[in-house]
Each structure stands twice: as C-alpha cells, then as structure tokens.
Amino acid sequence: MTNSISFARGQCKHGAARTAFRLSVLALAWAGAGALAASAYAADVPSAPPKSEINASVGTGAKFVPPPESAIPNDEFGKMVKLGRDIMLDTPKYAKAYVGNTLSCVQCHTDAGRMAGSAPLWAAYVSYPAYRSKNKKVNTYEERLQGCFMYSQNGKAPPLGSRTLIALQSYSYWMAKGLPVDEKVAGRGYPNLPDPVQAPDYVRGQKVYEAKCIVCHTANGEGQYVNGETVFPPLWGAKSFNWGAGMGSYKNAAKFIYANMPYGMSYSLTPQEAWDVAYFMDAHERPQDPRWQGTVAATRAKFHDSKFSLYGTEVNGKLLGAIGAPKAR
C-alpha cells in the first residue's frame, strides 16, 4: 500500500512546503500547456451568471472557524485528536488496515477537514445521528465514518469503537466545540450549485478537463505519485473511489469541484464547467460498488436509480460498472 500525502492540506503546517512546491508547479503549467488548452474550449462554454449571484446562491460565507492546531491540548485526549488529524491527512498510512486505494480523507474534506463548504468534519459531527437514505436507517457519526472507508477509500469499515474511529470522532468533536447541534449548520457539506444551462456533456467536460485538470491528474486520470506517495489523487481507475462513493454522483462531484477545484483556484470554474467536468470524470470506470447485487442492472436498480449516477449506463460504447464482483476486503 502506498502512502498518500494530500494535495489539499491547505493551511495545515505539515504540508506547507509540499503545498508551496505544488503551487509553483501549477503556476508553470498554467503559463504553458494549461493556458493553450483553456483557449481551445472557451468558445464552447455557456455564459455564467454574475459571480456575486453565484456566490450568493451557494452560500459560501460560513461564520464558524474551528480552533487552530496550536490549541490541541497536550494530554491523552490531545494525542487522540492529533491521530484523527493524521488519519485525515494520510489515511493509507495511519488507517492502512481499512484502506483499499491511494486516497486520503483530506482530498474531499480539504484543509484537514476544516474548510467550510468542503464537507468539514466539524459540521458533520453536529449533524449526527441522522437518517440517511443511502442505507435507509438512522446513522451515528461513527457509522457515517465507516461508510467513507467502504466507499471513498474502497476499503472496509473500521469496527465501531476502534481506535481509528475514536480518533476521527475526537478530532471532529474538538473542531466542533462551540457549535450548536444543528443539521443545517452553515458550511456543512458542499455548497449548492445552480442547475446547468445545458445538460452535462462528456465532450465539453473532456475539454474542461484537458484545460484545467490534466496538469495535476494526468491524461488517464490516475493522478501523480512521488516516491510512492500520492501527490495528486486518481479520479478514476483502480486506485480511486468506488462506485458507491458520494463522488459517484456527478451532482455531488460538481458541487465539490466548483467550490474547491482547480486546487488553489476555488470558484474559478463556471457552474456549467463544473457540471461538465464532473460528468466526464464519473463517465470512467472505477472499482465495483461493494453493495454489488450480482448484476449491473440489479445494482443500479437498488442503489443507483438516479439521473446523477452513470453506473449501469453506456458511455462511449461501454457499460459502466460491468467489471464483475468487488474484491474481497
């Protein structure tokens, strides 16, 4: 199992030097190939509403700010909080037994799970227990975390009460201190995104990807690695999230992309670009949904019966999800 060092540590001191290096690489890339690719597709992108109108519609201004890392107590509880933070930043290293790919939690929960509008852990913590239509039952926070390992990490669920879940719960609790218990807390999840002007499209999405994403995630979506560590995460393929993950809904993916990508350039894409590139990303094969029902059709009918899921649909002559049963974990 390779270690995974997040491309999205944000202000976390552990990734400061690495983040600076990546941003310098991005700057050079954008000055060259990225800029040329961007001009190639610009004419095909539908016009966007004014920026102020978009920002108002997605509600980006959450007021809550979690405490700084320097405030983590220097005691036994603080040690568990720090372990939770470390699991967030390098999940394959600190939760190796439960991870089946090269992703880390922080790649969908940026700035070590602190960033409002990027599914912050502090907002999730005060929103549970809650009913989830995904598994049709009331979930505790620990059960919600288990799902992340099963789907986004393409691994297996840590046992309830395990050190891994206690650490993540401790870190979330510590960040959420002072927040009311409120499932509608500002900053939770990803911001809402205006409906696309045009139906999301593979070809337009490919053009956006080639102009804005390929520099980091490569032409085949496999991401980039240095000395066995993930520098930029894979977006599809065997090392990415599986079909059961939240990002397997291109609506969820579009909201995340719009608010957080390209890295260091939040809200630089138009809503239409975010929808298109999310569709393109999800139109590629990835590991099987662990809830596999024996056939693609049966699995889609039970778990993917949504216009925002491409699982079980045909794209470019290939049936997505037709890769057989999931690997045992």
pLDDT in tens, 220-240: 999 999 988 899 999 999 999
Asked whether this chain's domains 69-176 and 202-320 adopt the same fold, the reply is yes
CATH topology for 202-320? Cytochrome Bc1 Complex; Chain D, domain 2 (1.10.760)
Percent of the chain whose predicted confidence (pLDDT) is above 70: 81
Alpha helices in the chain (DSSP H): 16-29, 35-41, 51-58, 76-89, 91-94, 110-113, 121-125, 141-147, 163-176, 202-212, 214-217, 250-260, 271-282, 296-303
What are the residue ranges spanned by the domains of the chain?
Answer: 69-176, 202-320
Q: Which two tokens stand for residue 66?
A: 């979690």
| Class of the CATH-defined domain 69-176 | mainly alpha
pLDDT of residue 162: 99
Instruction: Please give the residue that has the higher pLDDT: either 299 or 1.
Output: 299
Q: What is the torsional sign of CA 132, 309, 241, 5?
A: negative
Mean pLDDT across the chain, nearest whole number?
A: 86
Nearest 5°: the CA angle 246, 141, 173 is 115
- Cβ neighbour number for residue 38 with a 10 Å cutoff: 16
pLDDT of residue 78: 99
* CA 177, chain centre distance (Å): 24
CA distance 14 to 23: 16
- Whole-prediction pTM: 0.84
Instruction: Please give the residue that has the higher pLDDT: either 20 or 71.
Output: 71
pLDDT in tens, 25-49: 444 444 444 443 444 444 444 444 4
pLDDT in tens, 136-152: 999 999 999 999 999 99
CA distance 46 to 145: 38
Q: Per this entry, what is the length of the chain?
A: 329
pLDDT in tens, 63-121: 899 999 999 999 999 999 999 999 999 999 999 999 999 999 999 999 999 999 999 99
